[in-house]
Amino acid sequence: MDERLNALRLLVDAPEFMEPWLDLFYEPDEIKLLIDLPQQWTTMDDIETQCIEEGNCDHCGFIHRAWRRGVLDKDEKNRYKAADFHTRYDLWAMFEGFKDVPEDVREQLNQCELESYSNRHIDVLKKVRQAGNPDVVDDVTPRYLLPDEAMAVLDQVERIYLWPCNCRSMIQACGKPIYTCLRFDNNRDIGFEISREKAKEIVKDANKKGLMHSGELGRDFDGKIIGAICNCCSDCCFPHLLSSSAGAEKVWPFSRYVAKYHEDQCTFCGLCSKRCPFDAFTFQRKTKERFASLALETDLCRGCGVCATACPVEAIEMLEL
């Protein structure tokens, strides 16, 4: 057993099965830094002293890179301490890929990540379910947004940063686009700052690809919108996986609309049934024995709106709940 990796695993609270693979996530100098670093917030001066003693002349660049890579956390006083493995894995999956980690290890890792997400959000989910409204909960919560609502949010925020979707980067259960996450702050200075117009193009393109708009939104003390607009699939995205396991399909993300189908306008193309991620539409094509038919099960509808945006004859209307 590699004692360094064992000490690192305990330090960053990584799953036990990940111990043999940790050197794919952390470089040797980073492992040494974390093991030697005091287990509390530490100033740059103290870290510089340690780096200089070890002969690392580029200590500032080394520390800044470790912070950007999710190896270190930094507080508002510019003090540092070891980041947990969840933080490192999140950035590693989005920007570095899975390298030599075997498929079964990746699946175990993603299951642990889903459990971590669920544990962090289950209490907020319960609050939203009890209140029946995410706006009365003092947390950033996901809710479905129709395209025009997503555009309105983008018009109100100060800055927009493009990030890869961490859920699809990890789970990899579909072929939908990855660079679709529009964040309103730039954690660790990693995302690309983009224009409002570019952000709106990404929303439009995501909708064409069948992705649902989910606003993980809140407000800071000054009333400024914080959070992100995610463009989600039902196969990979953690909010949808959590809602399925918790029986909270219309709560997380919060459902604010329901589809209404106008049969007299329908041309029975079946596109809505292909687009709906939740099988709310049942479509039967025309045959010699029967006419084409389409049925909507509203109990299965989450109000994401991807059916309505694709209907070529506007036979589907989104009704606000």
Contact criterion met (CB below 8 Å) for 301 and 259: yes
Residues 167-173 have a mean pLDDT of 94
Residues 193-205 have a mean pLDDT of 98
Which H, E and C letters describe the chain, residue by residue? CCHHHHHHHHHHCCCHHHHHHHHHCCCHHHHHHHHHCCCCCECHHHHHHHHHHCCCCCHHHHHHHHHHCCCEEECCCCCEEECCHHHHHHHHHHHCCCCCCCHHHHHHHHHHHHHHHHHHHHHHHHHHHHHCCHHHCCCCEEEEECHHHHHHHHHHCCCEEEECCHHHHHHCCCCCCCCCEEECCCHHHCCEEECHHHHHHHHHHHHHCCCEEEEEEEECCCCCEEEEEEEECCCCCHHHHHHHHHCCCCCCCECCEEEEECHHHCCCCCHHHHHCCCCCEEEECCCCCCCCEEEECHHHCCCCCHHHHHCCCCCEEEEEC
Which pLDDT band, with edges at 50, 70 and 90, does 288 fall under? confident
Contact criterion met (CB below 8 Å) for 255 and 298: no
Which pLDDT band, with edges at 50, 70 and 90, does 216 fall under? very high
Complete domains list, the chain, with CATH: 3-95 (no CATH), 129-246 (no CATH), 257-320 (3.30.70.20)
- What pLDDT shows up at residue 254? 95
- What pLDDT shows up at residue 291? 85
- What would the pLDDT profile of 124-146 be if each residue is shown by its tens digit? 999 999 998 888 887 888 999 99
pLDDT averaged over the chain? 91
Q: In the chain, pLDDT over 70 holds for what percent of residues?
A: 96
Contact criterion met (CB below 8 Å) for 236 and 187: no
- What would the pLDDT profile of 240-265 be if each residue is shown by its tens digit? 999 999 999 999 999 999 999 999 99
Looking at the DSSP assignment, which residues form a beta bridge with residue 163? 181
Reply yes or no on whether the pLDDT at 283 is more than 90: yes
- What would the pLDDT profile of 48-104 be if each residue is shown by its tens digit? 666 555 555 556 788 899 999 999 999 998 899 999 999 999 999 999 977 678 999
- What pLDDT shows up at residue 27? 95
- What pLDDT shows up at residue 47? 76
- What pLDDT shows up at residue 55? 54
